[in-house]
Amino acid sequence: MFKPRKLAPLVGVATLALLALPRANAHELQVVSTFSIISDFAKNVGGDRVSLVTLVGPDGDAHSYEPRPADAIAVGKADVVLANGLHFEGFLGRLMQATGGKAPVIELAKGARLLRNVEEGHDDHDHDHDHDHDHDHDQDHDHDHEHDHAKERSHDHAHGHGQPKEQDHAHDHSHAGAHSHHHHGEYDPHAWQSVSNAQVYVNNIAEAFCAADEAGCQSYRANARSYGEMLQALESEIRATMAQIPSSQRTVITSHDAFAYLGREYGLRFLAPHGVSTESEASAAGVASLIRQVKDQKVSAIFLENISNPRLVRQIASETGLKVGGKLYSDALSAPDGPAATYIDMMRHNINTIRDAALGR
- Residues at the interface with Zn ion (CB under 5 A): 258, 331
Amino acid type, 156: D
Nearest to 262 by CA among 190, 203, 331: 190
User: Smaller CB distance to Zn ion: residue 80 or 82?
Assistant: 82
Burial of 136 (0-12, 13-18, 19+ CB in 10 A): exposed
298 Cβ contact partners less than 8 Å away, ≥ 6 residues apart: 248, 249, 251
Least Å from the CB of residue 248 to Zn ion: 28
Nearest to 216 by CA among 32, 27, 41: 27
User: Smaller CB distance to Zn ion: residue 89 or 331?
Assistant: 331
Residue 358 CA neighbour count, 13 Å, CB half:
23
User: Smaller CB distance to Zn ion: residue 258 or 322?
Assistant: 258
Least Å from the CB of residue 13 to Zn ion: 42
User: Smaller CB distance to Zn ion: residue 151 or 274?
Assistant: 274
CB distance 131 to 87 below 8 Å: no
User: Smaller CB distance to Zn ion: residue 50 or 190?
Assistant: 190
303 Cβ contact partners less than 8 Å away, ≥ 6 residues apart: 252, 253, 254, 255, 313, 324, 325, 326, 327, 328, 353, 354, 357
Least Å from the CB of residue 311 to Zn ion: 17
Least Å from the CB of residue 118 to Zn ion: 14
Least Å from the CB of residue 212 to Zn ion: 28
